[in-house]
Amino acid sequence: MGVDLLLSLPDDVLVLISSHLTPRELSSLSLCSRSLHSALSSSDKIWLSQCANLLCSHPSLPLLPRWRSGVSSYRSLCRFLLSVAPLLGLWVHQNPELGNLVLLSLGPFLSLLARRVIPQELSPGPLLFAPVFEIVSSFHGVPRLLFLHGRTHHSDDCLFPGSVLSIAPDSNVLLLEVDSHPASPPFSRLAFADRRRLLDAVSDRVCHRNVLSSASSDAERRMALVHLHSRAAAGRVDWRSAGLNSSDRSSSSAGAAGSNNRKSFFSVVRQIIGKPAAAGGGGGGSNSMKNCSSVAAAAGGGDSNSKHVALSEFLKGSDTIGLALRATNMRLTTYRAWPNMHDNRFALYKLPLQEPSDGREYAGIWGGTFGWPPGRPSEDKPGKALFFLLLSYEEIAGELHLIATKILEGTHYVLHPNGSAMFIVKVDEPAADSFPWEMDGDGVSVEVKCSFSGEGIANGYGFRYPGSKPGSLFEIHNGMLAFVWKESKAVLTLQRLDLEEMLKKGERVPPLPPVANFAYLTKSYSNVFAGFPSSCSPLPRC
C-alpha cells in the first residue's frame, strides 16, 4: 500500500521527499519492492538531488551536469562522490619537520586530487604545490583508478598507475601498499625494508611519462587516463617472469631501456626474496632495516612467533602485484590536535579540522608571518617565512583553550617541530596587556576587537622539546589575529585561508620520486620539496 502510494506521486514530489533522505536510506527504501527499486534506481532527478546534497555549497556544484556525461547515471556519480567523501580534507606526516601538508579535493572532472603545499616564503606570486596522486572515477562511479605522481631518475614527470583497494567511511590513515592477493598476508606484515624495496621495485616498473598536458579539456584528459589505466593492466606486473607486453609501458619512455628494466625488476624481486639481509647495499638502507629483513626471512611463513612475514609468503598467492592505496581507520591518539604517527609506515594521516561555530569562531586553517606590519618585508628579513597553522579548540582542566598548531613552516631550516603549538590561549581570560602598535602598514588605526591571555612557543630543552613564554592574542580589524610575546614583543599575525581556492590558482612544481612523494619517511629539517628553480617551466596538469 505504502509502496503504491509512493509510486503514484508525481516525479517532483518524489524528488522532494527523497532529498530529505541520505543515499544509504534511499538505497534501503528501494529494497522494499522491485517496482520501487526500478523507479528509484532509474530516476536521474532523484540522484541529482542526492549529488547536490553531498556537494551542498561546494564550488563544484555547478559542474554536476558536465560530470554526468562521464558516468552511466547520476546514481553512479553519487556513488563516486559518496565514496571519496571520507578522503576530502587535509592530510599530514611528521616528516619533514618543516611540514608535509597534503590537501585532497575534488578535481575538475570526476577525480580526486591530492596536492602538497610546498614550504615557501610569503610572496605576491601563486602558492607552490606538487601533485601527489589522483583517483579517477570509472564509468560506473567506482573510485578504483589510482595514479601516483612522481619523477624518475631522469627527472621526468611521470604517472604510476595502481588501484584503490578500499575506502573506509571513517578513514583517518592513507596507506601506500603493494597489492598481491586477497588471501596473502597483509602488506603491513612485511618488514619495513621489504616494504620499501617492493614499493620502489614496482613503481620503477609501472612508470609512464605524463604526456597528457596536450589534452584539450578535462573530460578528454580523464578519458586518456582511463585508457592508460586499462592499457597498463591497472599497473599490475608479473613478478615471476621477465617478459611483459610492450603496451604495459608508455611508448614515449619504454624504448631501448625496456629490456633492462624488466631484468632489473625481476632481479630486484629475486634479491629481496633470496637475500633479504644483504640486499640494498650501496648506501640505500640502514643496518636496522637490513636486520628487519633478516628477521622476516629467518622466520619464514610458518613461524607464528615472528613479527614479520617473509616476502616469499606474501608473493606466493599471486603472479601479479601492483601499487595500491588503502584508506582505513586506525586507533590514533592526538596531542593538541596533532596525530601521533607511526614512523615506519608509508602513510598520510588525516588532520582533524573543526568548523567555526558560536564561541569557537577561530577554528580552521590560517596563514601567518612574523613581524609588524603584517606581510611586509624588512631590511633584515627581505623574505618572510609563511606559516600555516591549524586553529582548534580543546578543553584543558575544565577551561576552553584555543590552540594554534604549526602544520607548515616556510623557513629554509626548521625552527620548531612539525605539530608544535605556536601559541595556546584561554578563551575566557582577556589579555591584561594592550596591543603594542597603533597603526598598521597602511597608516590605518588598529582596532582591537577582543583579546585573550596565553603562552607562545619559545626555546626549551632542545629542538624536540620547546618551551613557552607569556603572550596575548588579539583580534584586530579585517578579521586578522595577532599573537604578541609579552617580553620580546615579537608578533605573529594570522589571516584565515581558503586553501582549496589558493591551490586552484597555484603554481605546480615537480614532485619527488613516487614513493617519497607520497610519504617522506626520512628525518629532515630542511625543505626537501624545494629542489626546483624559482621560475618553473609549464608542467603537465595534475
3-class DSSP state of 384? coil
- For residues 187 and 298, membership in a common domain is answered with yes
Using DSSP's 3-state secondary structure scheme, residue 190 falls into strand
- pLDDT for 248: 36
| pLDDT, averaged across the chain | 83
Residues 304 and 399 in one domain: no
Domain membership of residue 143 (yes or no) is no
In a domain, residue 21? The reply is yes
The boundaries of the domain holding residue 24 are 2-84
Alpha helices in 2-92 (DSSP H): 2-8, 11-18, 23-29, 34-42, 44-55, 64-68, 74-84
Q: Does 521 fall in a domain?
A: no
Q: Does 486 lie in the same domain as 366?
A: yes
Q: Please indicate whether residue 17 or residue 274 has the higher confidence score (pLDDT).
A: 17
Closest-CA residue to 140 (of 71, 94, 91): 71
Number of domains making up the chain: 3
CB 413 within 8 A of CB 119: no
Confidence of residue 478 (pLDDT cuts 50, 70, 90): confident
Cis peptide before 373 (omega within 30 of 0): yes
Residues of the chain above pLDDT 90, percent: 57
Query: What is the Cα–Cα distance from 95 to 347, expressed in whole angstroms?
Result: 11
pLDDT in tens, 75-106: 999 999 999 999 999 999 999 999 999 999 99
Q: Is pLDDT larger for residue 147 or for residue 272? A: 147
Q: Is residue 13 a part of any domain in this protein?
A: yes
**Domain-embedded: residue 541:** no
Parallel, antiparallel, or unpaired for β 481-485 and 320-328? unpaired
Q: Quick count: other Cβ atoms within 10 Å of Cβ 42? A: 11
Look at residue 128 and tell me if it is in a domain.
Answer: no
244 and 376 inside one domain: no
Domain final position from 268, 289, 317: 317
Q: Is residue 467 pLDDT above 80, yes or no?
A: yes
Same domain for 363 and 489, yes or no, is yes
Which tens digit of pLDDT belongs to each residue from 201-224? 999 999 998 877 666 788 899 999
Identify the residue with better confidence: 133 or 25. Answer: 133
- Same domain for 396 and 456, yes or no, is yes
> Cα-flanking dihedrals φ and ψ of residue 401, to 5°?
-120, 150
**Could you tell me if residue 460 is inside a domain?**
yes
Give the C-alpha distances (Å, rounded to integers) separating 85 from 78, 94, 159, 222. 10, 24, 24, 20
**Mean pLDDT to the nearest integer, 46-67:** 91
Residues 407, 457 within the same domain: yes
In a shared domain, residues 310 and 404: no
Q: How far is CA 186 from CA 175, 220, 233, in A?
A: 12, 37, 22
SS3 content of the chain, % helix, strand, coil (to 5): 30, 30, 45
Same domain (yes/no): 386, 487: yes
Please check whether residue 141 lies inside any domain of the structure.
Answer: no
Mean pLDDT of 182-195: 89
409: left (phi over 0), alpha (psi -120 to 50) or beta: beta
Q: How do 320-328 and 157-167 pair as beta strands? A: parallel
Whether the pLDDT of residue 157 is over 60: the answer is yes
Q: Are 296 and 361 part of one and the same domain? A: no
